[in-house]
Structure 1
């Protein structure tokens, strides 16, 4: 049974890889299930066993993209919140951003998500991205609250707006990584510098 589950998961990942490739090179509307099936080396039936339609594939691609960020923040919040400091938050964010910067697949998915969410081709995807954003802002808000209690974030700052500010900064870095990667010639070191500037501005005065 375990073997069949592993094979099913491997097939699902191949389908997502193929869908990602076609969505990035042409519009979702122009991508046919036959194209995805051929690239993935599976039948159309296998695709429909895993996904109802192309929008569901997009949702799965989006989830695969944001999982490192969600996992990193959840790890901080669940493991030992009393041990959290600014450096650990920055490192969690940095590791997620490095995933986008260093992974061609993650970069490609990011471009697909931005293109189709903003142009309105997929309303379902746009709503999913909004939910993901709200979830990440909520996690950041909880980290801000912890930061205030532990003394590395100014207690006078409003929790929600501070979380939105951090999230906006992160999204700005992602935009630069995708549209102007030359802005970070030293890679992770430059991203870390940017995050350090962000959190330095949140410290108590």
Structure 2
């Protein structure tokens, strides 16, 4: 009986996350209500509040479910100390683009996140934070870039922090453009060439330490 109750609770939670994907994609995050999600899942509003404190927590859980595999692979790549950093960066970037192109859930959630989500109030304590996901992604990219510097693929004065954010912005821009204009190109087949271009630019002209300094800019960290 206890096992069945736990299984039923898990099934309800998954149904709510599935419904949130559909509702947020159709209506946008701000316009959608928890009542809309409950109706789409075929449950009561009380069932929603049993699993999620508010819409922010539901939104964070929905995003985390879809993006956690991508984050996990990036973290594994960042931890691969003995691997060729540039080859690792290329492989994980192509894999991520193809995952987005071929996995309907990942594509749907990123479409919501990048194209249909206005800024939400801070979610409840303990909920996955979208800003924290971005921070972790940038941190993992920076660790790969630092390894590329150590291995001699990038110049010693490369600003690893700025380079990581430039790569993240490139990736976000490509994905957002494709989500808005999927007919423009086949992301799955174009991914290797696009990543080649991104990495070639990084290797040929990496941002140098001091390039990100300016009024109101944080101090550039010295990685040496």
> Where does residue 219 of structure 2 map in the other structure?
none
8 Å contact 2:114–2:176 — kept in the other structure? no
TM-score (norm 1): 0.83
**1:104 maps to 2:104:** yes
* The structure with more helix, counted as a fraction of residues: 1
The runs of 5 or more residues in structure 2 that have no matched partner are: 206-224
Deviation at 1:152, TM superposition (A): 2.4
CA distance in 1, matches of 2:61, 2:71: 14
> Where does residue 147 of structure 2 map in the other structure?
146
8 Å contact 2:78–2:141 — kept in the other structure? no
> Where does residue 157 of structure 1 map in the other structure?
158
8 Å contact 1:16–1:61 — kept in the other structure? yes
Question: Equivalences for 1:27-42 in 2 at 5 Å?
Answer: 27-42=28-43
The runs of 5 or more residues in structure 1 that have no matched partner are: none
**1:14 maps to 2:25:** no
Question: Equivalences for 1:22-61 in 2 at 5 Å?
Answer: 22-61=23-62
CA distance in 2, matches of 1:29, 1:167: 25
Aligned in 2, Cα 1:163/1:28: closer, same or farther, shift over 3 Å?
closer
8 Å contact 1:151–1:204 — kept in the other structure? no
1:123 to 121, 133, 137: 121
TM-score (norm 2): 0.77
Task: Please provide the CA RMSD for this pair.
Answer: 2.6
CA distance in 2, matches of 1:163, 1:32: 36
Which of 163-172 and 83-92 deviates more? 83-92
State the structure with bigger RCO (CA 8 A, min sep 6), 1 or 2.
Answer: 2
Aligned in 2, Cα 1:142/1:22: closer, same or farther, shift over 3 Å?
same
Based on CA coordinates, which of the two structures has the bigger radius of gyration?
A: 2
> Where does residue 87 of structure 1 map in the other structure?
87
8 Å contact 2:24–2:112 — kept in the other structure? yes
Kindly tell me the number of residue pairs found equivalent between the two proteins. 200
Deviation at 1:51, TM superposition (A): 0.3
Q: Secondary structure at the match of 1:82?
A: coil
> Where does residue 213 of structure 2 map in the other structure?
none
Deviation at 1:10, TM superposition (A): 3.0
8 Å contact 1:15–1:47 — kept in the other structure? yes
Deviation at 1:154, TM superposition (A): 2.9
C-alpha deviations, 1:24-49, integer Å up to 9, x for none?
A: 21244543434322322333332212
Aligned in 2, Cα 1:177/1:7: closer, same or farther, shift over 3 Å?
farther
